[in-house]
Structure 1
Amino acid sequence: MTALLWAMVKARRGLAVITLVLTALAAAAASAGPLYQEAAAVSLRGVEVAAATVGERVVTAQTSDDPRGGEQPLRPYVPGMITLSGTSAQVVVTGEQGEEGEQGMFLAARTGVCQHLTIARGRCATGEREVVLREDAARELNAVLGQDLAFRTPPVGSMEFERPPAVRLTVVGLYRPVRLDDPYWGDREILTGIDRPAAFATERTVAAVEGSRMRMVDLLVTPAAFENMDALRDDLGDAESELDAGGFGTDSELSKLIGRIKDGESQLSSSLLLAAVPLVMLCWLVLFIAVAGGVEQRRGELGLTALRGVPARTRWLLATAETSVPVLVAVIPGYLLGYALTALLATVALPGSPPVYLNPASALYTAAAVLGALLAGLLAQVRALTTPVLGLLRRARVRRSGGLVGGVEAMVGALALVAGYQVAAGEDTGAGGIGLLAPLCIALGLGLVAARAIGIPAERLGRRALRRGRVRTGLAALTLARGGGTHWVVVLLTVVFGLLGFALSARDVAAQAWHERAEVQVGAARVLQVETLPAASLVHAVRTADPAGRYAMAAMRVNVNTETKLLAVDSSRFAAVALWPGAYGAATPAEVARQLRPAEGTPLTLTAADVEITVTLDRIEPGAKAGLTLRLVGTAGAQSVVRVEALRPGTQTYRVATPTCAASPCQVRSLSVDLFTPKRYLVDLTVGDLRDPTGRTLLSGADLAGHHWRLPQTSAARPVPEMAPGSGGLRIWVDSVLTPDMRAAADPAPDPLPLVAAGDLPPELLGAGGTVRVPIVRAGTLPLVPRYGAHGALVDLQYADLRTGGESDAQEPEVWLAADAPADLVQRLEANGLKVLGERDAAGQLHLYQEQAPALALLFLAVAAFAGVLFAAGGLLITAVLERGRGDGGLAVLRGQGVSQRALRDADLGGRFALVLAGTVIGLLAAGLSWALARGVLPVFGDGGTAVPPPDLPGPLVTVPIVAALLVLLTTCLLATRVARGSEGVTS
Structure 2
Amino acid sequence: MIALVRAALRARWRSALVMMLLAAAAAGAAAAPLLYEPAARRAATVTEVAAAPAAERRLTAERHLSPVVPDRTQPERAFPPELIGDLPTVAGFDSIGGLWTNGLIVDPAALPPDPGETLTGLNGTLAWRSEVCAHLTVTAGRCATGYNEIVASARTADRAALAVGDTVVFHTSDRYPLNRYTVVGLYTPADPAAGYWAGRPFFAGWQARDPVADPFFTTRETVHRTLSADYVEAADLVARPEAFPGPARTATDVVGRWAAGTEWSVRTDLHALDARITAGDAQLRDGLALAGLPLVLLAWLVLWFAVSFGVALRRTEAGLFALRGTPSSLRWALVLAEAVLPVLAGTPLGYLAAWLLVSVVSATTLDGAPTVTPAAGSMWYAVAAVAGALLVGLAAQWRAVVAPVAVLLRATPARHRQVAVSTLDVVAGALAAAAAYQVSAVDEPAGGLELLVPMLIALTAGLLGARLAGLLAGRAAGRALRRGRLVRGLAAAEFARQPAQLRVVAISVIVFALVGFSATASVVAAEGRGDRARIDLGAPRVLTVADAGEQDLLRAVRAADPEGRYAMATARITRAELDALAVDSTRLATVADWDPRFGPDAATVASLIRPRPATPLRITGESVTVRATAVSPPPDTRLWITLLPATGPIVRVRAGDLRDGTHEYRAAVPACATGCRLGVLEVETPFAVEYAVDVTVSAITDATGPVDAGLTDPARWRVTSGSVLDSPDLAVDARGARLSHTGRGRPDLRLIPVVTPVPLPVVTGGEPDDVLPSATGPVPIARAGHLAAGPAGAITLVDLEYADLAAYDAAMAAEPQVWLRADTPDSVVTALTTHGLVITGERTVAERTTVLAGQGAALALRFHLLTAAGAVLLGVGALLVLGADRPRRVRQLRALRAQGLGAGPAWRSQLVAQLAVVGAGVVLGLAAGALAWWMTRGAITYYVDDWAGPAPPDWPRAEALLGPVTALVVLSLVAAGSALSLRRAVEER
TM-score by length of 1: 0.90
Q: Secondary structure at the match of 2:947?
A: coil
SS in 2 for 1:707: helix
Q: Which of 786, 789, 808 lines up with 2:791 in the alignment?
A: 786
Q: What is the letter of the counterpart of residue 497 of structure 1?
A: F
Task: State the distance in 2 between where 1:70 and 1:532 align.
Answer: 33
CA distance in 2, matches of 1:270, 1:148: 64
| Aligned partner (choices 275, 281, 284) of residue 268 of structure 1 | 284
2:812 counterpart residue number: 809
**SS of alignment partner, residue 133 of structure 2:** helix
Matched, 1:450 2:450: no
Q: Where in structure 2 are the equivalents of 1:430-469 lying within 5 Å? A: 430=445, 433-469=448-484
| Cα deviation code 1:18-51 (max 9, x no counterpart) | 1111111211121110111110111112111111
What's the CA shift string for 1:485-515, capped at 9, x where partnerless?
Answer: 2232222222221121111111111111121
- State the alpha-carbon separation in 2 of the partners of residues 609 and 91 from structure 1: 30
| Cα distance in structure 1, aligned partners of 2:775 and 2:272 | 26
Aligned to 1:774: 780
2:642 equivalent to 1:631 = yes
Alignment of 1:878-893 (within 5 A): 878-880=881-883, 882-886=884-888, 891-893=893-895
How many angstroms apart in 2 are the aligned matches of 1:83 and 1:714? 49
- 1:876 corresponds in structure 2 to 879
Contact (CA 8 Å) 1:528, 1:839: kept in 2 or not?
yes
8 Å CA contact 2:728–2:740 kept in 1: the answer is yes
Asked if residue 747 in structure 1 is aligned to residue 754 in structure 2, the reply is yes
Question: 1: distance between equivalents of 2:84 and 2:605?
Answer: 61
Matched with 1:691 is: 701
The alignment status of 1:54 with 2:70, answered yes or no, reads no
Q: Which residue of 2 aligns with 1:600?
A: 613
Cα drift, residue 217 of structure 1? 2.3
In terms of mean alpha carbon deviation, does 236-245 or 210-219 score higher? 210-219
2:477 counterpart letter in structure 1: G
- Tell me if structure 2 keeps the 8 A contact 1:883–1:890: no
* Residue of 694, 711, 714 corresponding to 1:703: 711
Superposition deviation, residue 459 in structure 1: 0.9
The structure-2 alpha-carbon separation of the partners of 1:148 and 1:251, relative to structure 1 and needing over 3 Å to count, comes to same
Mapping for residues 527-542 of structure 1, pairs under 5 Å: 527-542=542-557
Asked if the contact 2:679/2:808 (under 8 Å) is kept, the reply is: no
Find the residue that maps to 2:613 and give its secondary structure. coil
Q: Aligned pair count?
A: 964
Distance 1:96 1:768, change over 3 A: closer
Contact 2:690 2:744 in 1 (8 A): yes
- Structure 1 Cα separation of the partners of residues 916 and 501 of structure 2: 11
Bigger Cα displacement from structure 2, 437-446 vs 629-638 = 629-638
Look up the SS of the partner of 2:746 in the other structure.
coil
Distance 1:375 1:592, change over 3 A: same
Q: Secondary structure at the match of 1:899?
A: coil
Q: What's the secondary structure of 1:189's corresponding residue?
A: coil
TM-score, normalization by structure 2: 0.90
1:496 and 2:511 correspond: yes
Q: Residues 898-945 of structure 1: CA distance to partner in whole angstroms, max 9, x if unpaired?
A: 333322211111011111010111111011111111012222222231
Instruction: Within 5 Å, give how 1:47-196 maps onto structure 2.
Output: 47-64=47-64, 73-90=85-102, 97=109, 99=111, 105-126=124-145, 130-140=149-159, 142-145=161-164, 147=165, 149=167, 154-157=172-175, 162-163=176-177, 166=179, 169=182, 171-190=183-202, 195-196=212-213
What is aligned with 1:359? 375
Segment drifting more, 311-320 vs 669-678: 311-320
Q: 1:544 aligns with which of 554, 559, 562?
A: 559
Distance 1:756 1:693, change over 3 A: closer
What SS does the aligned partner of 1:688 have?
strand
Aligned partner letter, 1:968: V
Residue in structure 2 matched with residue 927 of structure 1 by the alignment: 929
Quickly say closer, same or farther: Cα 1:208–1:897, change in 2 above 3 A. Answer: same
Query: In the alignment, residue 197 of structure 1 is paired with which amino acid?
Result: D
- Code of the residue aligned with 1:730 in structure 2: it is A
1:353-385: CA deviations, max 9, x gaps? Answer: 531122222112112211221222233234555
Change (3 A) 1:190 1:960: closer
How far, CA to CA, are the matches of 1:235 and 1:756 in structure 2?
43
SS at structure 1 position matched to 2:581: strand
The 1:205–1:750 alpha-carbon spacing in structure 2 relative to 1, beyond 3 Å, is closer
Structure-1 residue corresponding to 2:526: 511
- CA drift of 1:550 comes to 1.9
The Cα shift of 1:87 comes to 3.6
The match for 1:853 is 856
Deviations 1:544-591 (A, max 9, x none): 2222222222222223767x9522211222223222355556x65334
- Look up the match of 2:822: 819
Match of 1:730 in 2: 737
The answer to whether the 8 A contact 1:19-1:290 is kept is yes
3-state SS, counterpart of residue 499 of structure 2: coil
Aligned to 1:906: 908
- How far has the Cα of 1:783 moved from its partner? 4.8
Q: Give 5+ residue unaligned stretches, structure 2.
A: 69-79, 113-119, 207-211
- Deviation at 1:970? 0.8
Secondary structure (helix, strand or coil) at the match of 1:684 reads strand
Contact 1:105 1:198 in 2 (8 A): yes
Per the alignment, do residues 656 and 129 of structure 1 end up closer, same or farther by CA in structure 2, a change over 3 Å counting? Answer: closer
CA distance in 2, matches of 1:769, 1:601: 18
Residues 122-131 or 489-498, more deviating: 122-131
Helix, strand or coil at the partner of 2:944: coil
Contact 2:439–2:446 (CA under 8 A) maintained in structure 1:
no
Equivalent residue, structure 2, for 1:256 = 272
2:74 counterpart residue number: none
Query: What is the CA-CA distance between 1:283 and the residue it aligns to?
Result: 1.6
Report the Cα distance in structure 1 between the residues aligned to 2:219 and 2:638, rounded to whole angstroms.
56
User: 2:308: which partner in 1?
Assistant: 292
In structure 1, stretches of 5+ residues that fail to align are none
CA contact (8 A) 1:151 1:209 kept: no
CA contact (8 A) 2:151 2:217 kept: yes
Aligned to 1:336: 352
Q: Which moves more between the two structures, 72-81 or 126-135?
A: 126-135
Instruction: Provide Cα deviations, 1:418-456, integer angstroms capped at 9, x if missing partner.
Output: 133123214165166222112122112222222222211
The offset of 1:777, in angstroms, is 3.5
Q: Which moved more, 1:719-728 or 1:503-512?
A: 719-728
Cα deviation 1:691-746 (Å, max 9, x = unaligned) = 3579x53236x63443344444448x754222222451112223343334444542
RMSD of Structure 2 on Structure 1 (CA) = 3.3
